Amino acid sequence: MWSHYVKNRRILFTLLLGFSCGLPVALTGATLQAWFTQSGVSVLAIGALSLIGLPYTFKFLWSPLLDRFALPFLGRRRDWIFATQVGLCIALFAMAHFDPGLHAAAIGAAALTVAFIAASQDIAIDAYRTDLLLPDERGLGTAGFIFAYRMATLTSGGLALLLADRLGWRITYEIMAILVGLSTLTTYLAPSISDRIKAPATLAAAIIEPFKDFFKRKKIIAILLFILLYKFGDAFALSLMSFFLLKGLGFSLTAVGVAHKTFGLFATITGAFVGGILMTRLSIWCALLLFGILQAFSNLFFMFLAIAGKSYLWMVSSIFIEAFCSGMGTAAFVAFIMSICHHQYTATQFAFLSSFAALGIRLTGPLAAFVSTRYGWVNFYALSFLLSLPGLLLLIPIWNKVEL
């Protein structure tokens, strides 16, 4: 498997850029929350930190700028990646020199700036890997990207907390800024994309044409519904997972943490790699169908766990199986989104489609709370399986529209 990453520069650099994408996430999320908490900042101020993640949700609004305009170095896509990495390095260094106890508003503004630049980096990297990878490389490329992304979130999450405990928050954030700065070397060495991919002629075209291109396609409504619903059942099952394991079954924080952070993480990465390897032999449509079926049935293991009660073996097995199948489904799903993006508008179309897919995930919360409270956990996870089926059924009308 690893020979693909050693021999193929396109797949290798897709993996390496995944680390750059994942690194800022915790630094404006869980790690920043820990810093504020340790500094004695009020709960209201800590709660407001969740708003810092908004740029990730609305990044499609400024993505046309990255399609239309280029910077005078490194060529299309890599120019914006390089610029955002330099911006992140500077912004993180600035964050490092604030004290949340004294400058909560200032560090919040700096963190929002980091999130905006990081979301812009995501736009550029998603567009770059979509333009760079050949159709039969997208599965492995996505698997490598997921692996590096997860390693980066562990670095800026768990490792950053360990460093902060020993070295302090300022030095910790400076170290993270240096790691982001080193990512510019990856961008500099990464392969160029084809010169035949031209930018839209005007900014208006960059804003309007990506959506005109979508909606002139046949079966576009079915395609968009599929994107909204393919991961819906999986997201529904996971939406109250911590509550289910801690309050519903009575597991300890340590037991749940170990299961999620070790078995769950390993299973997700392994599933993505297995999915990526299988996709070198399967069409995207077959992969979406096969992995989607496995993803749906994996939710039923939590139903069996709810029936069995507090069983550590059942918990670990359920988490591993669900994460493994979800990793496979994610590899195919991201490859599918890549396959339907027009290379002239990749930044806008990928950003829009990924945000649209996330909308379905965010809608699960209220429904999940109602069902679990009213009907219990066994019925909750049975419903999560049923909610996976509409996305699979939508593969029927779009079967000949997948390989675009």
Q: What is the three-state SS of 130-180?
A: HHHCCHHHHHHHHHHHHHHHHHHHHHHHHHHHHHHHHHCHHHHHHHHHHHH
Residue in the structure block whose two tokens are 């035949």: 196
We find that the CATH architecture of domain 205-401 is: Up-down Bundle (1.20)
Q: CA Rg, the chain, in Å?
A: 21
pLDDT tens digits for 258-312? 887 788 889 999 999 999 889 988 888 899 999 999 999 999 999 999 999 989 9
pLDDT at 404: 42
Per-domain residue ranges for the chain? 2-199, 205-401
**Cα separations in angstroms, 98 against 72, 217, 333, 397:** 33, 50, 40, 54
pLDDT tens digits for 150-165? 899 889 988 888 898 8
pLDDT over 50 (residue 197): yes
pLDDT at 401: 58
| 399 within 8 A of 284, measured Cβ to Cβ | no
Angstrom distance (rounded) from CA 391 to CA 404:
19
Q: In the CATH scheme, what is the code of domain 2-199?
A: 1.20.1250.20
Q: Residue range 124-130: average pLDDT?
A: 94
Q: Residue range 168-191: average pLDDT?
A: 94
277 token code pair: 């390897």
pLDDT over 70 (residue 44): yes
Whole-number average pLDDT of the chain? 88
Would 2-199 and 205-401 be classified into the same CATH topology? yes
Angstrom distance (rounded) from CA 340 to CA 343:
9
pLDDT over 50 (residue 200): yes
How confident is residue 402, by pLDDT bands cut at 50, 70 and 90? low
